[in-house]
A and B are shown apart, each in its own frame.
Chain A
């Protein structure tokens, strides 16, 4: 019995030694530098997995194929998987070519690591992109000065409510912070939870909208962006002011705010259990079509008139892998995606609450969308959203801090200290 045992032990030791040697040489996590294949259709990796958006993307890819200059193949991935796998896609030896994602600091983080294809050629040769707004130009430019992103559509955030419910309760849109507090009071006296939230279940990030808006209203968009980039601290007095203001409206929040996901909070809003909700237009995807005409919104009330008016209007679009072997085909597809035609096809197929980035493209034309377009156009500054202005990695720190604040507002001091500590770890990572 002794011999096989020793031999097994020796063998295992040998295996271990071989493994360790290979590990120490660092080949485990070597980033390969190979180029992807250069033949075949451009692969378009999409995170738009909601049924309507998915069909819209299929239509778009089919239209591109018909148009004759090239072919694309669509690969739709569940949104959550896409998000966690994106770094893996981008660093793999044979990556997909084009991806749906966000511009701004999220794209810039990848660009800094040389993972994104330089799209200067697309921007200089496309007649469409030249006419995009200045704000979009700078949003799609990485810190290196190169263009890395092609925007497609954008949407907006606002205080959404149901017109028929407001009429029934005899209330109307407020124009100031005090008016907003009066409105909350009135709704509460009618037995309605004035403010729905939807930060429960798997959508705790919705609460960040309140943080974003209070911060851009009190400290301004510039400060907000710097804060999220790590240039200020979450335990600074400026941030404390945001939460002091939030405490004023906290009694008006739906007590189930952190128990319901935003889809369920939408149902509560439409059913008249809550009065209004700070949400992005994507919530309409989970609303019945019949209710859509009854939905309206107002601007998050201005708190300090001296601060330049800012709104959250996140842009969606595409970037490409630096390792693609089909550079010319990617450039061609990107040019097509920037055209009015492409964006109209997408808007027609999707739920129709997004706005095209191309100034010539037609939106869905509903009253709501027209109002939304004007709402964003009036803003002097545009912010994207918490995770898009910082990183997906910072978002969970906000979720923890904000859900804790909603449950235990008195502990705000220690919550902000913890938040700063957690955020520091992410910024240092």
Chain B
């Protein structure tokens, strides 16, 4: 309830003092107030409130059935000595670098390749974007068939004379994580490509003409015109990549469930299995808090920097 009354109480008191803001109606019309407050209340109830609960649960020991016990920072202390947590963190960083880095580079490359308006280019753009439309869980089913011991991948390897490379891709600890990254990349590249395509469209062609007149090579034009012009898009792409990396879950869960023996475990899958399989919801919430802090930290620091530059 504090949510509703707090701003209501404050705004009239403040209005007369703030000299710069007295344009327009003196009081906010009730309709506007309703437009602001009703969604805020809904958001508070369904987003902020459960999020705060999550923070509270991170300080408890809870099996989901009996009432939770408050244990202070014990969960975080346990995390410091948890090998699985450490390897999951390592895998998440590797995921961020490989999945994030490759999807940005390949997405940009695809966008550059497909930015010219030629016949049939729409088809290729659509083809690259299409994976975004599919559910990752459905995608994972197809990839699972590809990775099977007698699946497409192994048959192709055999057919081209690389039979010695045949593998149980998802069941081998050395290949499982990479085998899971590929389907995730396959989807993400199309998405990043579309973001960059939009950015490329916004670049003034006059800049290229000027560069050409000055005798800049294709590489120089890319390096000194295209890339600096894409700075604002980069911010979006970076946020998207960081968030998508940290919440990557569905594809890993449906392909390996973090296995074999935690070798493809990410923080997200470890959080899920701790909370909902081992029923240690307190520790699972603590893991969720760590994920939140990581995601929020990266994005907030980037946004702060971006805003500072904009000023």
Chain A residues in the interface with B (C-beta under 8 A): 1-4, 7, 10-11, 14-15, 17-20, 23, 26, 28-31, 84, 87-88, 90-91, 110, 113, 115, 200-202, 204, 255-256, 258-260, 264, 392-393, 395-397, 399-401, 403-404, 407, 425-426, 429
A91 touches B64 (CB 8 A): yes
B204 to chain A, nearest CB (A): 32
A260 touches B6 (CB 8 A): no
Which residues does chain A contribute within 8 Å of B62, judged by CB atoms?
29
Secondary structure call for the A interface: helix
Give the size of the chain B interface in residues (CB under 8 angstroms).
Answer: 48
Which residues does chain B contribute within 8 Å of A29, judged by CB atoms?
53, 57, 60, 62, 67-68
Which residues does chain B contribute within 8 Å of A256, judged by CB atoms?
149, 168, 171
Given contacts A29-B57, A256-B168, 10 further A-B pairs with CB under 8 A are: A11-B6, A20-B52, A28-B53, A87-B63, A113-B66, A258-B171, A259-B148, A259-B149, A403-B259, A429-B279
B63 touches A3 (CB 8 A): no
B52 touches A23 (CB 8 A): yes
Segment with Cβ contacts to A, from B11-19, B188-196, B236-244: B11-19
How many residue pairs at the A-B interface have CB separations less than 8 Å? 121
Q: In chain B between 145 and 179, which residues have their CB closer than 8 angstroms to a CB of chain A? A: 148-149, 168, 170-173
B17 touches A392 (CB 8 A): no
A31 touches B260 (CB 8 A): no
A142 to chain B, nearest CB (A): 15
CB < 8 Å neighbour of A110 from B65, B144, B257: B65
A101 to chain B, nearest CB (A): 14
CB < 8 Å neighbour of B260 from A10, A17, A23, A407: A407
With A200-B171, A396-B277, A429-B279 given, is the CB distance from A90 to B65 under 8 Å? yes
Complex: how many Å from CA A29 to CA B285? 13
Chain B residues in the interface with A (C-beta under 8 A): 1-3, 6-7, 10-11, 14, 17-18, 20-21, 44, 48-49, 52-53, 56-57, 60-68, 144, 148-149, 168, 170-173, 254, 257, 259-262, 273, 276-280
Which residues does chain B contribute within 8 Å of A258, judged by CB atoms?
168, 171, 260
Residue of B nearest to A115 (CB): B65
CB < 8 Å neighbour of A31 from B1, B48, B67: B67
A201 touches B260 (CB 8 A): no
Residue of B nearest to A110 (CB): B65
